Structure 1
């Protein structure tokens, strides 16, 4: 079980589907679920902010940051952008080998849509926290 550490790069695998967080190679902006291929677009660098509980998550392939456009609410798509959205990194209460990634100071967390549908290209959104495994992520250091 990996512990997420600052200034470290990880592959994030969805606990429900088994695929990983991928910055689309097609539009280089959409954050989607995809089968693991080892590409830099599937590698995410975590940076802990010096003050407060926030984390910044940056894609190795493009340098874009995992973020949302607009206000947090159910079913908002996640993108790789220049906006340094702050996240809370929290171990899952029921499975401490997994993490939940929440928009800081909210209960909206990273969610593989359609209850974790493993179809490559399935979008990642934020959604209110519930017990679903599609909101849990295993972090494997690169």
Structure 2
């Protein structure tokens, strides 16, 4: 299990879909699941921020945030302004992580129940036991 360190760079992989957290090359804005290819758009600098964490794209320097009002299905996008996130160990498999919007039950979710198709959106969704809401953090290879 990787211990997340402030200032560390990570590839973040969805446990169910097996795809990497990817800043879309199509629109340069959306956060999607995509097969690992070692590109800078799949590398994220995780930094402590207030009581939580931020995720900054190595390729763009932009931060993971949300598009619109937080709720089930709200897409993750990159923004110029840091968004604070909570990172918690999964309660079922403590070697995996969940990333929550603070003070909400909303966490990162590979859409369509973890669809591994390249380009599947990563959204917010209320926590449930699905492994499409759990993530592995590994140093880039």
TM-score by length of 1: 0.96
Aligned to 1:100, which of 95, 98, 101? 98
What count of residue pairs does the alignment treat as equivalent? 140
TM-score by length of 2: 0.96
- Cα deviation, 1:65-104, whole Å, max 9, x if unaligned, reads 0000232110000001112111000010111111000011
Equivalent-residue separation in structure 2 for 1:11 and 1:104 (angstroms): 22
Structure 1, 19-28 or 33-42: larger mean CA deviation: 19-28
Q: CA RMSD in A?
A: 0.8
- Flag structure 1 segments of 5+ consecutive residues without an equivalent: none
Equivalent-residue separation in structure 2 for 1:84 and 1:131 (angstroms): 28
Equivalent-residue separation in structure 2 for 1:74 and 1:107 (angstroms): 10
Aligned to 1:77, which of 75, 96, 100? 75
- Cα deviation, 1:30-60, whole Å, max 9, x if unaligned, reads 10000000000000110012x42x1111110
- Flag structure 2 segments of 5+ consecutive residues without an equivalent: none
Residue 113 (structure 2) aligns with: 115
Equivalent-residue separation in structure 2 for 1:39 and 1:125 (angstroms): 21
> Which stretches of structure 1, 4 residues or more, deviate above 6 A after TM superposition?
none
